[in-house]
Structure 1
Amino acid sequence: MKASNRKRRGQVLGVAAAALAWGTAATAQPPREQYLTLRTPQSAITARITEDSITSPDIQLTRQGQELRGRMFDRVVFLDLEADEVGGTVGGQLTRLHLQEQDGVTQARGNFLGTLMNLSLGPQALTGSVGRCGYDLKVTPEGTYQGSRSCGGMPQRPVVLSLPPALTQQGPAMTLTTLAILLGNA
């Protein structure tokens, strides 16, 4: 091949590569933002979820490896997330949760925010108690968890919880810890 043909061919390939790169950049879209939402008769909380953070006006949490750090509802959070145990402090109070999975349902039991916690999360329901509130939420056809809670008085309805894949894909320890903090403060 002549040098002039090689040069021309190289220029054509260079232009084609640049066009492809420009087209890819022009059509590339940022990942869709995903949100965790909790609505009760008294409040509504929405938090943006990414692969390493949870943010809202009341929540600033960052995950680095197995550590979850930050602030949530004016409480400092410092937790170590293991596959079968979560330990550390929330609001200066000791937290120790034991996780157990059976038949697709993960149960978290232990001490959280100075009170006992027993919360079960599965593909059909979220049930149990966090602090003084008990939750009984079932999955709807839309994929949200909906039902009632009782915080020492009459049951409150409706309670609606939306769990985005960006949170659940981080594993049961991260998902249940986030829910414990959220439900314990709602």
Structure 2
Amino acid sequence: MRLFPVLCLLSLGAACGPAPAADSPAREDIFGAAGPGEFILLTATGELVSADVEPGRVLGPDVTLGVYPSDSGRGGQAVRGIAFNQAVSVTATGQGATGIVGGMPLELSVTRAETGLHARGVVAGALSDYRLDDRQLTGVIGRCSYDLTRSGRYYEGARSCGGQPHQVTVLLPRGLSSWSDAALATTLGLLLGA
């Protein structure tokens, strides 16, 4: 990864603890170092999740996922690997995705609206309903709720994962736009909903 040194490199569901030390990289340094295919989630509390999104895979300290042609006989794509220490096996076909994440179900119905994507269902056993378009990332993903507005290259706003809302910034790489709607919704669910 290009983002070293990082004081707090934790999974989405973990708390970061004390505020980052004075010598930890600043927000501008982190986002300035991001490559064109990099996913980044950074909270005001210092939590950082990063991954490189490449054709057919997502690789980071907490995520190793591959996107393969599905062997289900119905076409589509299979998303398999490890995300935040949990095994992932999901099939994304047409406008939906079904499978298992860490022994919990993932089942999404995905529709393309005029301006973006809408996913509804269950992520890691939690009811989810979220939207992504060129202006906003909003809704409930797994155990976290998001109310983010696009500002330049980033989505910024509030995120709550069962506690007080915190300011968060998310950078989504352009490479995700070439994925199928169902595979994209699945990947967002895994990266943002833990």
- TM class, shorter-length: 0.7 to 0.9
Once the two structures are superposed, the pairs formed by residues 134-149 of structure 1 within 5 Å of their partners are 134-140=145-151, 142-149=152-159
Identity across the alignment (%): 33
Match of 1:36 among 12, 35, 39: 39
Under a length normalisation based on structure 1, what TM-score does the superposition of the two structures give? 0.77
User: 1:124-167: CA deviations, max 9, x gaps?
Assistant: 10000123321001111x2211111123333211x111111112
Match of 2:53 in 1: 49
2:170 partner SS: strand
2:185 partner SS: helix
1:57 partner SS: coil
Structure 1: distance between partners of 2:171 and 2:93: 24
**Deviation (angstroms), 1:61:** 0.4
Match of 2:79 in 1: 68
2:182 partner SS: helix
Once the two structures are superposed, the pairs formed by residues 115-126 of structure 1 within 5 Å of their partners are 115-126=126-137
Q: Which amino acid aligns with 1:136?
A: D
Once the two structures are superposed, the pairs formed by residues 69-88 of structure 1 within 5 Å of their partners are 69-88=80-99
Match of 1:128 in 2: 139
CA contact (8 A) 1:33 1:50 kept: no
Match of 1:106 in 2: 117
More helix by share: 1
Match of 2:181 in 1: 172
**Deviation (angstroms), 1:72:** 0.6
Q: Which amino acid aligns with 1:68?
A: V
CA contact (8 A) 1:167 1:174 kept: no
User: 1:97-144: CA deviations, max 9, x gaps?
Assistant: 00112212211100111110011011110000123321001111x221
Match of 1:182 in 2: 191
Give the number of aligned pairs: 152
Structure 1: distance between partners of 2:91 and 2:140: 22
**Deviation (angstroms), 1:178:** 1.2
Change (3 A) 1:33 1:164: closer
User: 1:6-32: CA deviations, max 9, x gaps?
Assistant: xxxxxxxxxxxxxxxxxxxxxxxxxx7
The worse-fitting range, judged by mean Cα deviation, of 82-91 and 171-180 is: 171-180
2:191 partner SS: helix
1:177 partner SS: helix
Cα RMSD after superposing both structures? 1.4
Match of 1:163 in 2: 172
